[in-house]
Structure 1
Amino acid sequence: MRWGARGGVGGWVGSGRDSAAVSPAAPVGKSVVPAPRVETIASSRCLVARVGGDMDYVTAPVFRPRLRELLSRGERFVVLDLSRVQFCDSVGLDMLLDVWRRADGSGTVLVLACVPQALRQIFQVTGADELLRVYDTVTAAEAAMGV
């Protein structure tokens, strides 16, 4: 996966829509963008949700309700595994902060795991790392929550 800088203030990074990730099955000149997805993974200790695809203004109508739905399940601990996120712009960051605020307000502990390095850098540049707790692995996130 190649991470490159996007233009504008903040220099959002990713391999999203500006890159031409072409598969053999795709018509020439057409980029293949992974479909947005949120898959829950069975865990007896907490709810683990694996997030995949681009998190941006295009996928926000899909991601935002799915992320909010995770909180409606009533789990005390939620881990978002971001290992399959390939691109994140300011709207994607806003979605993560929104779900964190909602979780915090409802007494749910929400943490992030397996965050790509480029996305960690976005968190640092924007100050989001002051709110969002990030762990290297899902196992480390679960251990930190004491579950």
Structure 2
Amino acid sequence: MSDPSVETFAVGHCLVARVSGEMDFVTEPVLRPQFKELIARAGRFIVLDLSGVSFCDSAGLSLLIGAWKQAEPSGVVLVLACVPEHLRRVLQMTGMDQILRVFNTVANARAVFGC
């Protein structure tokens, strides 16, 4: 099992958060408060860089959806970038790729938001 980590850095009015490790039912209790804090301290935009995610189950997907739902009413735009192929397939199969905006790179996401 790979312990999860979230590394953040600010670029303009974007907060980029690189998530690494597994996103599953075991790591969800560790990641959920970290995502909640990201949203609380973010400016207007959060880019979740998922390039380091090695595994994601339904609890991990629920975590992403929950973060997006929490961000929306706060006026924070949360998007995904660098989504590994296995997770991209899950997003497509569940239709969540129609709700969560997915970018190929962090730079692409930042460019859309002018950061």
Normalising TM by the smaller chain, what interval? over 0.9
Alpha-carbon distance in structure 2 between the residues aligned to 1:64 and 1:132: 17
Provide runs of 4+ in structure 1 moved above 6 Å. none
1:82/1:56 Cα in 2 relative to 1: closer, same or farther (>3 Å)?
Answer: same
- The TM-score normalised by the length of structure 2 is 0.96
Q: Which residue does 1:85 correspond to in 2?
A: 53
**Aligned residue number for residue 66 of structure 1:** 34
Residue number in structure 2 paired with 1:118: 86
Q: Which is bigger in relative contact order (C-alpha 8 A, separation at least 6)?
A: 2
Q: How many residues align?
A: 115
Write out per-residue CA displacement over residues 81-136 of structure 1, whole angstroms, 9 at most, x where no aligned residue.
00000000000000000000111111101100000011111001001111100001
Higher strand share: 2
Distance 2:74 2:83 in 1: 24
Partner letter of residue 32 of structure 2? R
Tell me the CA shift for residue 65 of structure 1.
0.5
Question: Which sections of structure 2, spanning at least 5 residues, go unmatched?
Answer: none
Q: Provide the alpha-carbon RMSD of the alignment.
A: 1.0
Structure 1 pair 70/103, CA: closer, same or farther in 2 (3 Å)? same
8 Å contact from structure 2 (residues 13, 43) kept in 1:
no
Higher-helix-fraction structure: 2
Q: Secondary structure at the match of 2:11?
A: coil
Q: Percent identity?
A: 56
1:140 counterpart letter in structure 2: N
- For residues 58 and 65 of structure 2, what CA distance do their matches in structure 1 show? 10
C-alpha deviation, 1:145, in angstroms: 1.8
Question: Separation in 2 of the partners of 1:133 and 1:145?
Answer: 12
Query: Which one has the largest radius of gyration?
Result: 1
